[in-house]
Chain A
């Protein structure tokens, strides 16, 4: 019998004997599944948040902040600066033939986070008619857009999902003014969905902002026009602003959220994995010792130690692969698409959905298979080194 045939039949024997150690094998599968589910949960959380930030930035839209401001909240941009920005190279013309610039301001208002019932920071963004043109993803899905010059607000669908206080048709009070929510917009997979939008001039006057804005978003003719425009803003002494592509702006913010995985997800995943590994080793040692007589018989009739090793190894890998499968299934059914929210870089809440992707599934499954591999090696070695006659004697 060839080595290949030997190994094949030993693997079959091993796998078919799993039901004899049903409960211990199930415990191994279950514990590995939980490791995979916890790790994948954290990875999906970070992944969903990152994807939302990354999905928000367009490569052909430049965002300018005051030089030194880290977020929109801390930035100031004047009317004059905005006019100067319009003279930059590569600026696209809007439908009215004038430069496509959306001058915006953001302030923070309170909403109530549904999951905790506590107050949370909601961004109220003042935009003009160009606001929608630089965000082609956004569409009004219920009600209508606000009428320029009126105290009307439209609310993002993500914000509605996670926070209460801004339902369609509701009248709100900010200071001495009342506002009405007249529409809901969707901008799937972007941070804009977590915002409230109103008419910029109305916000300027009611919140006493004079004629200043905080940021300008500039539509360029193509992503290739970005470097020239960034350089123009940097060199124009009268501006004192910093321009960057919206894509870079949000990618920078996404980078910082990696901390969650670094400090929580992976350490936890690895600690749990070691716990599950100990369980897997026990199961596999039990498997080897319960089949001691069987292994010995095979050795006596000429099977190699190697086939015994591989048989044990494959059994461990099958169990861990099953565990990984169950863990991924738990995550896919239980967590994927779940809505969550956290405080973003702009000091306001960002609503996002947990998102499982091929790359993070690969990471979690790899961890499971490593458990299986290590959990199989040592018991496998014991199986291959077993002295046949001694085992048969007992």
Chain B
């Protein structure tokens, strides 16, 4: 019989107790697995589709304020800028304003597709169709799946901001293509259509652009180019604020609240709870075994060996709960990714980093909870142990 067998036997000496402890640990790691992965996905969402040499120019007052159309050419003329495109938020929805809103931008097809070629993948035929059809729209695959849209179909897209001169609030758009993301897991819940089509038909806000995307010659020049752009428009009625794409989207996501903070608090609370439960239960479990430890020491088990066995039992217990908890959360996350709410986050599946840090956490949890009983087992003299219990 090896030490491991002995540890295993000890662990299941009272099966109910071990199962209950495993359930506690399982729940904590379930919370850890799901919340941390959600957090990672959100962080990644702010970075997905952001290239290091792309900048976003928006109105300095706030990004919902527009800028004159003429800014596009002025930005393009600034040294270090290699490409420029622009987009207008449309407040798009399909049929029902409350339940089917999605991201919709009016863009300049040619420059947009050149810069975002990887983020919105289309076939050459689809790309060509989008360029030539004035009322063309490209839709993300997730949206197309959700509403059953097909290429060539004409769909009414409404805006909760703009209206047409003829009083209509929806625009008929012909689907030129259905795009997929750079990775199959990237969120594709947006539509893009011709800026000109919108600009010619809206009743207000003509010749204004929402944000301008700038590609710089290299990421090293980002700061310099950003400063040059903002300086160019200083003291004008529409001053600009230029930041890199990642900073822009991160600031936007942070508006909802500090999710990092909430996740840290909840995960710590869950772990504090099981730490208390597991360590006190193990202490009392060891106390029941005092006599046995005395016998083992009498038989020649060295104190360090006893220590290792007690610690091993605690680590085995916490790893058991952790593996089950992490496994279950990975399973739940996969399901969540496929749900309509989850698909907005893109890839929710558990990353190796989360899984590994979970396992590391399990080992440290085992060591911490096993520490007190292990130390008391180590210090215990044979006489004392055999007398007690």
Interface residues of A (CB under 8 A from B): 21, 23-24, 26-28, 30-31, 34-35, 37-38, 41, 68-70, 73-74, 76, 107-110, 113, 115-116, 118-122, 173-176, 208, 263, 268, 271-272, 274-276, 278-279, 281-283, 285-286, 340-343, 347, 349
Contacts and interface: CB of A to CB of B under 8 A. Distances in A.
Contacts of A340: 257
28 contacts: A26-B276, A27-B281, A31-B274, A31-B276, A34-B269, A37-B269, A38-B266, A70-B98, A74-B91, A74-B161, A107-B62, A107-B64, A115-B258, A116-B254, A118-B254, A175-B237, A175-B239, A176-B237, A208-B237, A275-B27, A275-B273, A276-B277, A278-B20, A279-B24, A279-B273, A279-B274, A340-B257, A342-B256
A271 B284 contact: no
Nearest to B16: A285
Given A24-B280, A38-B266, A175-B236, A31 B273 contact: yes
Interface in B34-85: 60-62, 64-65
A68 B31 contact: no
Contact of A272 (B16, B270, B281): B270
A173 B237 CA distance: 10
Most buried by B among A27, A107, A176: A27
Contacts of B279: 27
B160 interface: yes
Given A175-B61, A279-B24, A286-B284, 16 more contacts: A34-B270, A37-B269, A68-B160, A70-B98, A74-B91, A110-B62, A110-B241, A115-B261, A118-B250, A175-B237, A275-B26, A276-B24, A279-B274, A282-B20, A342-B256, A342-B257
Given A107-B65, A275-B23, A35 B273 contact: yes
A272 B268 CA distance: 12
A30 B281 CA distance: 14
B98 A271 contact: no
A68 B97 CA distance: 8
B272 interface: yes
B236 A176 contact: yes
Contact of A121 (B21, B64, B283): B64
Contact of B21 (A68, A73, A272, A282): A282
B277 A31 contact: yes
Contacts of A119: 251
A46 to B, nearest CB: 12
A68 B235 CA distance: 37
B367 interface: no
Given A109-B61, A176-B237, A278-B23, A26 B280 contact: yes
B305 interface: no
B269 A272 contact: yes
A208 B238 CA distance: 11
Contacts of A110: 60-62, 241
A341 B204 CA distance: 32
B277 A278 contact: yes
A274 B23 contact: yes
A165 to B, nearest CB: 12
Nearest to B159: A74
A254 to B, nearest CB: 15
Contacts of A276: 24, 273, 277
B291 interface: no
Contacts, number: 149
A23 B91 contact: no
B251 to A, nearest CB: 4
Contacts of A35: 273
Contacts of B98: 70
A118 to B, nearest CB: 4
Given A23-B284, A27-B281, A74-B91, A278 B24 contact: yes
B266 A268 contact: yes
B254 A271 contact: no
B338 interface: no
A260 B231 CA distance: 42
Contacts of B273: 30-31, 34-35, 272, 275-276, 279
Nearest to A330: B269
A24 B17 CA distance: 13
B30 A271 contact: yes
B255 A343 contact: yes
Nearest to A342: B257
A390 B27 CA distance: 36
Nearest to A28: B277
B61 to A, nearest CB: 5
Nearest to B253: A118
Contacts of B21: 278, 282
A113 B238 CA distance: 23
Interface in B202-239: 204, 235-239
B309 interface: no
Complex A-B, nearest 9 residue pairs according to Cβ-Cβ distance, in ascending order: A275-B27, A279-B277, A31-B273, A27-B276, A278-B23, A27-B280, A118-B251, A278-B20, A23-B280
Contacts of A120: 251, 254-255
B62 A109 contact: yes
A176 B235 contact: yes
A381 B168 CA distance: 70
A108 B30 contact: no
A246 to B, nearest CB: 20
A199 to B, nearest CB: 17
Contacts of A347: 64
A122 B258 CA distance: 17
A113 B254 contact: yes
B276 A30 contact: yes
A268 B263 CA distance: 11
Nearest to A23: B280
Given A271-B27, A285-B17, A279 B269 contact: no
A274 B27 contact: yes
A275 B29 CA distance: 10
Contacts of B26: 275
Nearest to A24: B280
Contact of B277 (A27, A343, A349): A27
A268 B60 CA distance: 40
A37 B272 CA distance: 12
B28 interface: yes
Contacts of B31: 268, 271-272
Contacts of B341: 263
Nearest to B25: A275
B169 interface: yes
Contacts of B25: 275
Contacts of A275: 23-28, 270, 273-274, 277
A174 B235 CA distance: 10
